[in-house]
Amino acid sequence: MAQSLSKLTRDDIVARLADLLSAGQIVTDEEQLKLASVDRFKKYQSVHGIFDGPLPAAIVNARSTEDVSKVLAFADEHRINVVARTGRTGTEGGLETAVEDTVVLDGSGLDGILSVDAENMQATVQCGVPLQVLEDRLRERGLTTGHSPQSKPLAQYGGLVSTRSIGQFSTLYGAIEDMVVGLEAVFPDGSVTRIKNVPRRAAGPDIRHIVIGNEGALCYITEVTVRIFKYQPENNEFHGFLVDDMTTGIKVIREVVTNGFKPSVVRVYSPEDARQHFAHFYKDKVVVVFVAEGPKGLVRATSEEIERVAGQYPHEKVDPALIENWFDHLNWGVDKIEAEKQVMLAKAELGYTTEVSVDWSRTVELYENVIRRIRAEFPAADDLVMLGAHSSHSYQTGTNLYFVYDYKINCEPREEIEKYHIPLNAIIVEEALKAGGSMVHHHGIGKYRAPWTTREHGSAYAILAKLKETFDPNGIMNKGTIFPMDTHA
Ligand SMILES: Cc1cc2nc3c(=O)[nH]c(=O)nc-3n(C[C@H](O)[C@H](O)[C@H](O)COP(=O)(O)OP(=O)(O)OC[C@H]3O[C@@H](n4cnc5c(N)ncnc54)[C@H](O)[C@@H]3O)c2cc1C
């Protein structure tokens, strides 16, 4: 088991935290500490009540930037590992407390919407504001965040920014890194940094990107200013097509996107993946989905292009109402997560995902290589009940592939990760890297893709390593996340 980084005892840490903040902000209840020691990566074990990793010393509920600053400065002085958390929907082990006596610094109480500026089209929120809350507030004024990850009801701004999250309407609005105007963050020495809000600047490298995507491994995000957009759902047009194969589906979306059109949604589902989303109409085919959104004239022009491009290939049209209905039920709240746990317990079955990105020219090859390798090499292939993929975010130069795999669990709950998820994830990551792509498109590296961080970045890893050495010289920020456990202090 990984040792504590600190020389202070667990009791000392708790006592000193209580001196720094008010006692009500420090949680040491064992059940809470167990739940705080994992994220969804260990979901099968944890629904069986197994928490065999190091438990944190305490959860600290921050109420202000000053609280965050005090806790980080104390942790840095005494070499105490700190795991930042907000909405707790992370999927890659980023919330896992990898060493003994970690402090989990919870920002969900920093939940103020500080301003909505409809003239300069930006909103400023504290890190604990759930995306859904800001979205609902904006909708009252005919505005939208444009950000819609499936975890929208639960995920909060600190986590959304720190994992480089992306939403379903990304082709039009971009991902979180395109939305962040400025932000406030606290570094391990307790210093508070404010990156100001400007439309653009050429004042040296874009330092927002040191903070965005840092996964709590460099600094703590306390406040974020994001772009906001006009909300015009009355103009939305939905499109669905059944085509023969992935090659055709990828050709269709590539042509629409690279011809300069920006539908908000651009998706292609392999037949296996389509079965779980569109069982009543997919007919064992590849499903292509588009949504055109925005001002009426642009929506019409975009829809005409979508129809023209799809019309070049043999296809069958799907009733747009079916696509619209599907979107209305895509997001995950607490109820769906609870239902998933019940299915896990009742059926000993689990679904997981690994998302990567790759150039257009190698997308289908990557898809085929992964499916072929898993079928041929994965020792528990007979336990797979579903293996498929979809592309859900596209760019001028390429797209993402979101591999989805469900399996029956024929082992003890604590062996599930080793037997199933780790080997499946490894094949997908390796094939993405071989194809010249990225091993992670939007969930973050967490702890479970950290073994490949150096391969992902190649010679550019030196830049990442310098950031860690500079901003977290004592290695107290989320040990094992992004950077493998044995590196950097
Ligand atoms: C059902 C489901 C659907 C999902 N769908 C999507 C999707 O469509 N698109 C997508 O991109 N992701 C998706 N995710 C992944 C997840 O929702 C995102 O990564 C989200 O951005 C995490 O936000 P959170 O507030 O829950 O962060 P948490 O889970 O609390 O934390 C995630 C990571 O961010 C760090 N962190 C948290 N707060 C801070 C902070 N204030 N400062 C610094 N670091 C911090 C944590 O240490 C951890 O490493 C999904 C997850 C689930 C469970």
pLDDT tens profile 236-251: 999 999 999 999 999 9
CATH 3.30.465.10 positions along the chain are: 116-230
Angle, helices 246-258/363-377, rounded to nearest 10 degrees: 150
- Mean pLDDT throughout 371-397? 97
Domain boundaries 116-230, corresponding CATH code: 3.30.465.10
Cβ–Cβ under 8 Å, residues 309 and 292: no
- Mean pLDDT throughout 309-319? 97
Secondary structure class of 451 (helix, strand, coil)? helix
Residue 480 beta carbon below 6 angstroms from any ligand 1 atom: no
Residue 314 alpha carbon to ligand 1 centre in Å = 39
Question: How long a stretch of residues is the chain?
Answer: 489
- Mean pLDDT throughout 413-432? 95
Residue 213 beta carbon below 6 angstroms from any ligand 1 atom: no
Dist CA 87 CA 221 (whole Å) = 13
Confidence of residue 489 (pLDDT cuts 50, 70, 90): very low
Give how far the C-alpha of residue 436 lies from the chain's centroid of Cα atoms, to the nearest Å: 21
Q: Of 2.40.110.10, 3.40.920.10, 3.30.70.3450, 3.90.1300.10, which CATH number belongs to 233-328?
A: 3.30.70.3450
What pLDDT digit, counting tens, does each position of 330-353 carry?
A: 877 788 888 888 888 889 999 899
CATH 3.30.43.10 positions along the chain are: 10-108
pLDDT-above-90 percentage for the chain = 91
Residue 103 beta carbon below 6 angstroms from any ligand 1 atom: no
Check pLDDT > 50 for residue 326.
Answer: yes
Check pLDDT > 60 for residue 141.
Answer: yes
Residue 481 beta carbon below 6 angstroms from any ligand 1 atom: yes
CATH 3.30.70.3450 positions along the chain are: 233-328
Using the Cα atoms of residue 344, residue 432, residue 357 and residue 364 in order, give the sign of their dihedral.
negative
Residue nearest to ligand 1 atom 7, measured at CA: 149
- Mean pLDDT throughout 188-192? 98
Cβ atoms within 10 A of the Cβ of 258, count?
A: 13
Q: Which pLDDT value is given to residue 381?
A: 96
Cβ–Cβ under 8 Å, residues 230 and 185: no
- Mean pLDDT throughout 454-459? 98
- Mean pLDDT throughout 11-24? 95
Dist CA 447 CA 466 (whole Å) = 19
Q: At residue 265, what are phi and psi to the nearest 5 degrees?
A: -120, 135
Residue nearest to ligand 1 atom 23, measured at CA: 159
Residue 102 beta carbon below 6 angstroms from any ligand 1 atom: no
Please provide the DSSP assignment of 48-114 as one string. Answer: TT---SPPPSEEEE--SHHHHHHHHHHHHHTT--EEEESS----SSTT---STT-EEEE-TT---EE
> To which H or E segment does residue 179 belong?
helix 176-179
* Closest atom of ligand 1 to CA, residue 107: 41
Check pLDDT > 70 for residue 103.
Answer: yes
Fold entry, domain 10-108? 3.30.43
